[in-house]
Amino acid sequence: MCSLALFPPPLPPGQTTLCESNNELLCGTNNSEARQDSSALSLHFPRESLKLHSRTESSSKAAFLDHSETLWMRSAAAWRDGGFTGLLNEITTSHAEVPKWLSVTSGCILALLRWVSSFHGSLYPHVTLSSEDMIAEFSQLLNWSDCVVRAFAWHPHTDKFAVALLDDSIKIYNPKSAITPTLKHRLQRNVAAVQWKPLCASVLAVACQNCLLVWNVDPCSLSTRPSSGCAQVLSHPGHSPVTSIAWSPSGSLLVSASPLDTSMMVWDVAAESCVPLQRVGGGGVTFLSWSPDGSHILASTPSALFRVWETRMWTCERWPCIKGCCQSGCWSPDGSRLLFTVQGEMVIYALTFSGSPGVPPGLVKGPQVAVVVADLSETTFNSPDGDIIVGGEIQSLSWDPRGERLAVLLKGDPGAANRPAIIAVFKTRSNPVFELLPCGFVQGEPGAEPRLLQFHPNFQHGALLTVCWSSGKITHIPFYFLTSGISQVGLSGSLPLPHLQERPADFSNQSLFTELIS
């Protein structure tokens, strides 16, 4: 069951996908013309325009601090910076000044600690990574460390969005205002994810290397550089680097995850208090996704295991995978279906949660087994310029808020020219039965690789897919369609496109997956 074979072939080089209309993807050669109304929000961040940190803090420290401090001062500083191991390290290295027995003892303890941690590292290989590598490993972005745009988030209710850039700043764009606030903070380093608080106009949570920052960006303010006093710092010992965050859809709680911390933190942001929810096993938590109805949270771990938490009494189901860890996942708009992908496998799995949100947790029977809904193994498309191989491992999934389009970012192979990273878009339908239909591939300018994708949370005319490219561009690709389930009264008047009459789809007989056949 190879799903990609049924897709229309990828575009020839030089062509970019512009939009979906009339049930097919339209393309154009030059991106400057034929832009839709979203062009005002298309941005370009050239890599050269960003001022990058030339050196890290630790290297500058060696340049400026003179080392003639007393042992006590250095020990105190080591304790503050590096904790217990830092202190031991300091004592061991300055063996000329401390008594011999002390330096020997601390050396032994240090060796013992290293042995234990190497043992731990052999169980969970990810703990040996540096924190930047770890963020890159578990980020939803393709090749995070090289990305100009490191995180992107649409506001759930309005048309503004936040972009985190390589230089650790965050910019907020709003089509209705000329002001672009830039958020910078001392602790805002290596941003792995940003997310706006639902049911709120101004609160933005940022997952940083050492902490969580919660910015309060007043939408009426005229300031372009909100002070760092506008940010709340949420941190918990041992909870870093933070690689994923998720707000509850009701806006009351924020969960955060770190691959080095086995507990997932549930923050009451206003009170700055947190409840650690610890489950041993897995070695950490890498990716979180809160279902849109608020009833479940997907929490994946670095090992071949993920959990689905139920948010009423905060209990969890364990889902062991066979091959690798859960790489990405997304929920259907009603929260009843979870699609996820596993590292090392080329398929999309689905889990169905039948329980309605009101039923007490004891009565909800969770699914028994995950079902393969799409097989994205490699497929060769013949084109005049040579074969293009599409398919392979999946980096991330995104489902539009109406549940009609599913975008899949395929990793491709950076080494091979004919195996690019590409976005495959499926049409999905959940009523009366769950169905997947092919829609097409989304491609950018030549040489630009898709890095991150996200759907606009409330696009009126269908779905709007925002893609961040490796070139530093952010483009928006609208998918114009009519939803069968939603009344069309409010929509029909404002539709800009003339040719929107729904045509029977060509691919309707090529359904990739339906619940009936599975």
Q: Would you tell me which residues interact with other proteins (CB under 8 A)?
A: 155, 157-158, 199-202, 219-220, 237, 250-253, 266, 268-273, 275-278, 312-315, 356-358
Please say which residue, 30 or 250, places its beta carbon nearer to other proteins: 250
Please say which residue, 95 or 312, places its beta carbon nearer to other proteins: 312
Neighbours of 12 (CB within 10 A): 13
Cβ of residue 206: shortest distance to other proteins, in angstroms? Answer: 17
Report whether 103 contacts 110 (CB < 8 A): no
Please say which residue, 155 or 476, places its beta carbon nearer to other proteins: 155
Please say which residue, 23 or 174, places its beta carbon nearer to other proteins: 174
Please say which residue, 2 or 200, places its beta carbon nearer to other proteins: 200
In order of 2, 94, 488, the CA distances from 176 in angstroms are 45, 60, 26
Please say which residue, 63 or 280, places its beta carbon nearer to other proteins: 280
Please say which residue, 149 or 265, places its beta carbon nearer to other proteins: 265
Report whether 166 contacts 148 (CB < 8 A): yes
Among 141, 228, 234, CA closest to 184:
228
Please say which residue, 104 or 505, places its beta carbon nearer to other proteins: 104
Q: Which residues contact 458 (CB under 8 A, 6 or more apart)?
A: 156, 157, 401
**Distance, CA of 488 to CA of 500 (rounded, Å):** 12
> DSSP letter string over 314-333?
TEEEEEE-SSS-EEEEEE-T
Cβ of residue 507: shortest distance to other proteins, in angstroms? Answer: 34
Please say which residue, 311 or 470, places its beta carbon nearer to other proteins: 311
Cβ of residue 271: shortest distance to other proteins, in angstroms? Answer: 4
Q: At residue 59, what are phi and psi to the nearest 5 degrees?
A: -75, -35
The one-character DSSP state at 311 is T
Please say which residue, 155 or 296, places its beta carbon nearer to other proteins: 155
Structure tokens at 171: 């910019």
Please say which residue, 232 or 483, places its beta carbon nearer to other proteins: 232
Task: Kindly give the residue spans of alpha helices, DSSP state H, lying in 17-64.
Answer: 57-64
Report whether 476 contacts 466 (CB < 8 A): yes
Q: Which SS3 state, helix, strand or coil, does residue 138 take? A: helix
Cβ of residue 245: shortest distance to other proteins, in angstroms? Answer: 16
Cβ of residue 298: shortest distance to other proteins, in angstroms? Answer: 18
Instruction: Collect contacts of 322-329 with beta carbons under 8 A, ≥24 apart.
Output: 325/286, 325/300, 325/301, 326/287, 326/298, 326/300, 326/301, 327/287, 327/300, 327/393, 327/394, 327/395, 327/396, 328/140, 328/287, 328/394, 328/395, 328/396, 328/397, 329/287, 329/289, 329/298, 329/300, 329/397
Q: Degrees (nearest 5) of the Cα angle 441, 444, 445?
A: 145
Please say which residue, 492 or 518, places its beta carbon nearer to other proteins: 492
The one-character DSSP state at 79 is H
Cβ of residue 201: shortest distance to other proteins, in angstroms? Answer: 4
Q: Please count the residues of the chain.
A: 518
Cβ of residue 198: shortest distance to other proteins, in angstroms? Answer: 8
Which helix H or strand E contains 408, and what residues bound it? strand 405-410
Cβ of residue 314: shortest distance to other proteins, in angstroms? Answer: 5
Task: Order the strands of the 254-257 sheet from edge to edge.
Answer: 244-247, 254-257, 263-268, 273-278
**Distance, CA of 472 to CA of 147 (rounded, Å):** 8
Cβ of residue 165: shortest distance to other proteins, in angstroms? Answer: 24
Among 460, 477, 458, CA closest to 469:
477
Cβ of residue 266: shortest distance to other proteins, in angstroms? Answer: 5
Cβ of residue 43: shortest distance to other proteins, in angstroms? Answer: 21
Cβ of residue 182: shortest distance to other proteins, in angstroms? Answer: 20
